[in-house]
Structure 1
């Protein structure tokens, strides 16, 4: 049963509950301010580290589980002009660059453009090699590896929204 305190209009179900709720709301407000201040930079840095590490692996022959997929994709996208080691080096360089821009926050807009190009390469195997990526039993492990990158796209959109709030200009 609830009662209304005269003159306040507040409904209370037990003595002291208002105090507990007020403190909980104050704690929630502190947490919300902290998250509002730190969540997007943390996401930007985490995405940067993912691209930095996975890009660096591509510089080492045989270290990346998607090496053959990367070379096949570059071959298809470039109409046979880029293949093999060059494909891996280009992909590695692009991903490391994106990672560095995200981790440091320097040249972030350029990094976002490079990331957009990277996403074309990441998702194009779904078009070029769909028959290899999806079998009767469902998506292969490689297809699942590609499809989980939708999360990276969503994270990059959050980072881009924050980065693009600031006007372009001179320092």
Structure 2
């Protein structure tokens, strides 16, 4: 029974090492496509006002209003499509690096508005971008050549360790 469980665990680890980063890449891409698409339609994105205000400040007023929103939307959809398809992935990851910097910029630019006491809904909305940044790091590591490889210990060694632990 234990050998069967060990075999199942080894197979699961091998499957996860082969597929989990690709699943992460595609799911992150879908998130970017979804949030980016919302921004093409004025008044639909819950982060519209904050994202426009942020890009207005970061561009020193060169981009404002719907033009700023359209640039953000196009950038997010482009990032998402590169992640979903795997095409131009390194380019998409470079663009994502800039986008993630922009995602966190409101904390520096509008801190007192985001934290008048308790964090506002917008502050909490931005906070989730920490997870997006961490996922981007894993995907970038893979794109730059890193590999996730399961540890393979001989089953005899695993059984030996279990017997010692039980004793």
> With structure 2 as the length reference, what TM-score do the two structures score?
0.85
Q: Which residue of 1 aligns with 2:161?
A: none
- Aligned pair count? 146
4+ residue stretches of structure 1 with deviation over 4 A?
none
Q: Which residue of 2 aligns with 1:80?
A: 61
Partners in 1 of 2:103 and 2:90 — Cα distance?
Answer: 20
Q: Which residue of 1 aligns with 2:94?
A: 113
Q: Which residue of 1 aligns with 2:123?
A: 143
Q: Which residue of 2 aligns with 1:16?
A: none
Partners in 1 of 2:10 and 2:32 — Cα distance?
Answer: 33
Deviation track 1:68-124 (CA, whole Å, cap 9, x = no partner) reads: 101110111011111101110000000000000000000000000000010111000
SS at match of 1:124: helix
Of residues 12, 20, 27, the one that matches 2:8 is 27
Q: Which has the higher contact order (CA 8 A, sep 6+)?
A: 2
Q: Please, which runs of 5 or more residues in structure 1 have no aligned partner?
A: 1-19, 167-171
Partners in 2 of 1:118 and 1:81 — Cα distance?
Answer: 17
If you compute each CA radius of gyration, which structure gives the higher value, 1 or 2? 1
Structure with bigger helix share is 2
RMSD: 0.9
